[in-house]
């Protein structure tokens, strides 16, 4: 498993994270966590896919991201100690390596490069969100639809 978090880590750092993680399994449609719950730790997807989403008071769902094996979920609560900002649901049977906030902080103190990599990941996500805000603020509906279709084609499409 190679995540953005692990991709620049030494083998020792990867073993430290693995040693402090617990494997958890989720069935298709099962929630890993819900928006507003206290953030208890970091989830690294080992197998399966996870949908990150927000739900309006009226029950409408906005999908924010689909996470694949090797990706991390819920980095922000690990850093700031806050609640989960989104909900996460297994799209298919999924297995994650869970690292508690406490254990992750200890690893960061002992190995600062892990914390720096986490900050880089959160920074990249912030930049993507700023791009989304810009697109929503300054693009027409037609331009936004074209952008979504192009992104879906790039991610999910097949060359024919």
Which sign does the torsion angle of CA 126, 131, 134, 139 carry? negative
Q: How many CB atoms lie within 10 A of CB 39?
A: 19
DSSP-derived letter for residue 49 is -
Max mean pLDDT among 26-35, 39-48, 108-117 falls in 26-35
Least confident of 6-15, 77-86, 91-100, 117-126: 6-15
Q: How many CB atoms lie within 10 A of CB 35?
A: 15
Q: If you average pLDDT over every residue of the chain, what do you get?
A: 85
pTM of the entire predicted model: 0.73
pLDDT for res 30: 97
Contact indicator for 73, 48 with CB cutoff of 8 Å: no
pLDDT for res 135: 83
Contact indicator for 89, 30 with CB cutoff of 8 Å: yes
- pLDDT, tens digit (0-9, with 9 covering 90-100), for 34-60: 999 999 999 989 899 999 999 988 889
**pLDDT greater than 50 at residue 61:** yes
**pLDDT greater than 70 at residue 76:** yes
Position 1 confidence tier, pLDDT thresholds 50, 70, 90: very low
pLDDT for res 14: 62
Least confident of 13-17, 48-52, 95-99, 144-148: 13-17
For the chain, list the domains and their CATH numbers. 11-156 (2.60.120.10)
């Amino acid at each position: 498993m190679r995540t953005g978090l692990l991709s620049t880590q030494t083998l020792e750092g990867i073993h430290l994270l693995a040693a402090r993680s617990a494997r958890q399994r989720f069935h298709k449609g099962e929630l890993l966590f819900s928006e507003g719950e206290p953030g208890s730790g970091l989830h690294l997807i080992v197998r399966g896919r996870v949908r990150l989403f927000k739900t309006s008071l009226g029950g409408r769902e906005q999908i924010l991201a689909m996470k694949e094996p090797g990706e991390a979920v819920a980095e922000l609560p690990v850093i700031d100690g806050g609640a989960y900002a989104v909900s996460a649901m297994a799209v298919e049977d999924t297995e994650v390596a869970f690292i508690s906030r406490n254990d992750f902080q200890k690893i960061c103190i002992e190995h600062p490069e892990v914390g720096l990599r986490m900050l880089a990941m959160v920074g990249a996500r912030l930049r993507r969100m700023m791009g989304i805000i810009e697109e929503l603020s300054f693009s027409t509906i037609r331009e936004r639809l074209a952008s979504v279709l192009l992104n879906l084609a790039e991610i999910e499409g097949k060359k024919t």
